[in-house]
Amino acid sequence: MEATTIAFDRYQPLADEACDARIRAARAALGERAVILGHHYQRPEVYKHADLTGDSLQLSKLAAKTESQYIVFCGVHFMAEVADILSKPGQVTVLPDLGAGCSMADMANLAKVERAWRDLSTVLDPDQHVTPVTYINSAADLKAFCGEHGGIVCTSSNAREILAWSFKQRDKVLFFPDQHLGRWTGYLMDIPLAEMLVWDPDEELGGLTPQQIKMAKILLWKGHCSVHQMFQPQHILRWRERNPSGMVISHPECRFDVCKLSDYVGSTDFIIRTIAASPPGTRWLVGTELNLVNRIAEQFKSQGKLVQFMATTVCMCSTMARIDPQHFAWALENLVAGKVVNQITVPRHEAALARVALDRMLAVS
């Protein structure tokens, strides 16, 4: 008899502690048939169960090397898509809550990117002059668009290498969906701010004139991470008054003026490694997601390192937080019962094109 899917409404009233015990039991029952991936920004009561932890691409690459039948991704939707694209045939990727999306990724959809490409073609031939570059924080169909149009994917760790490759292909870049990563990367490459213009997908020609498009080196999609926009220059300036010898480290999704005031700017992995390598007793102000900052603060407390969250208000990735113990327990217990819930499957043609863009990135970096 075919197994029956266990309804989620049985899990909604459960306390986190009850879910914790059920997660451990289900995890033990699944054994090596499942691998649990936990993103750096994940809430602690879920993160602690992860077999592999890291940023989105790192996790997908690690999962693809396993022989596990099930990849349970405690992250957000685009991350699970990448895991599905990179995984072996027969591996199944599960996202415990399909509501775990990414507001930044949603700021650039395929229809708007295709419209931008058409708009650009009224001024110049984009297939001759523009390399489309999508941040890994984007939907699979945008990665496929880049694969089809000679473009590439980047991460916050390799964006500079990827842009250097992109400019060798064509003289301009259309960078989406995060304008801040694109601007900071261009700045590090000595591209003048005047040659990095924001493309507003809701305006004709992106709100630019034909002349502006022709002179621009990078067209920056009007998108951003809502969490990293919480950090402001005044947060850094006030903290430096109280901690003149302290260090400030920020993620490149932060605003340009925040990055400029920081001592270090880099990916989540870079932030962790930099603080880990610092001398005992160092003071740090960190501009990235709260769960990660709290985890770093606890990890290095014994070394006398003081690690503080940059914003004055509590701000975490609310969509990542949709993966709660209740959804996690529900997904695992269904797998134990022989039912797959919330499987993430990228259509084959789309996955093949997205893989082209991802493989270009992996070859470059």
CA dihedral sign, ordered 205, 199, 81, 65: positive
Instruction: Kindly state the average pLDDT of the residues 275-289.
Output: 97
State whether residue 196 is helix, strand or coil: strand
Alpha-carbon gap, residue 76 to 323, rounded angstroms? 8
pLDDT recorded at residue 1: 45
pLDDT at 62: 85
Q: Return the pLDDT at 2.
A: 60
Following DSSP, what letter does each residue of 228-271 receive, concatenated?
GGG--HHHHHHHHHH-TT-EEEE-TTS-HHHHHH-SEE--HHHH
Alpha carbon distance 143, 82 (integer Å): 10
Angle at 182 between CA 263 and CA 249, to 5 degrees: 20
- The mean pLDDT value for 254-269 works out to 97
Taking residue 7's Cβ as centre, other Cβ atoms within 10 Å add up to 11
Q: What are the backbone angles phi and psi of residue 349, rounded to the nearest 5°?
A: -65, -45
CA distance 159 to 133: 9
| Percent residues over pLDDT 90 in the chain | 90
Q: Classify the phi-psi angles of 74: left when phi > 0, otherwise alpha if psi is within -120 to 50, otherwise beta.
A: beta
Longest Cα–Cα distance of the chain, Å, equals 69
Say how far apart CA 217 and CA 196 lie, in whole Å. Answer: 6
pLDDT value of residue 55: 86
Mean pLDDT value of segment 162-188: 98
Q: 245 pLDDT exceeds 90?
A: yes
Cα–Cα distances in angstroms (integers) from residue 51 to residues 22, 43, 88, 263, 328, in the given order: 17, 15, 18, 33, 14
Residues facing residue 93 across a β-bridge: 71
What's the rounded Cα separation, in Å, for the pair 2 and 338?
A: 9
Span 31-51, pLDDT tens digits: 999 999 999 889 999 999 999
pLDDT of residue 319: 79
Higher pLDDT, 316 or 200: 200
Q: Average of pLDDT values for 309-338? A: 89
| Residue linked to tokens 């940023």 | 55
- For the whole prediction, is pTM greater than 0.85? yes
Q: Residue 305: pLDDT band by 50, 70, 90 thresholds?
A: very high
The DSSP string of 307-328 is EEESSSS----TTGGGS-HHHH
Question: Which candidate, 247, 204, 207, 252, places its Cα nearest to that of 225?
Answer: 252
Place of tokens 């990727």: 93
Domains of the chain: 8-99+319-347 (3.40.50.10800), 105-226 (3.40.50), 228-309 (3.40.50.10800)
- CA nearest to 30, candidates 333, 326, 323: 333
Query: Which band of pLDDT confidence, cut at 50, 70 and 90, is reported for residue 294?
Result: very high
The tokens for 52 are: 């592999």
What is residue 315's predicted lDDT score, i.e. its pLDDT?
Answer: 67
Taking CA atoms, 20 is separated from 44, 198, 266, in Å, by: 12, 45, 33
pLDDT in tens, 58-105: 887 887 888 899 999 999 999 999 999 999 999 999 999 999 988 999
Q: What is the pLDDT of residue 358?
A: 95
What is the rounded average pLDDT of the residues 281-289? Answer: 97
- The neighbour count for residue 318, using CB atoms within 10 Å, is 11
Tell me the mean pLDDT in the region 127-137. 97
Burial 155-182 (b: 16+ CB within 10 A, else e): bbbbbbebbebbbeebebbbbbbbbbbb
**Residue 316 predicted with pLDDT over 50:** yes
- Segment 192-203 shows an average pLDDT of 98
Q: What is the mean pLDDT of residues 287-299?
A: 95
Once rounded to an integer, what is the mean pLDDT over residues 214-223? 98
Helix axes 140-148, 110-121, angle to 10 degrees: 30
The DSSP-derived string for 109-146 is: -HHHHHHHHHHHHTTS-HHHHEEEEEESSS-HHHHHHH
Find residue 133's DSSP bridge partners. Answer: 152, 175
- Residue appearing with tokens 């603080």: 275
Q: How many angstroms separate the CA atoms of 114 and 296, rounded? A: 40
Tell me the average pLDDT of the chain: 95
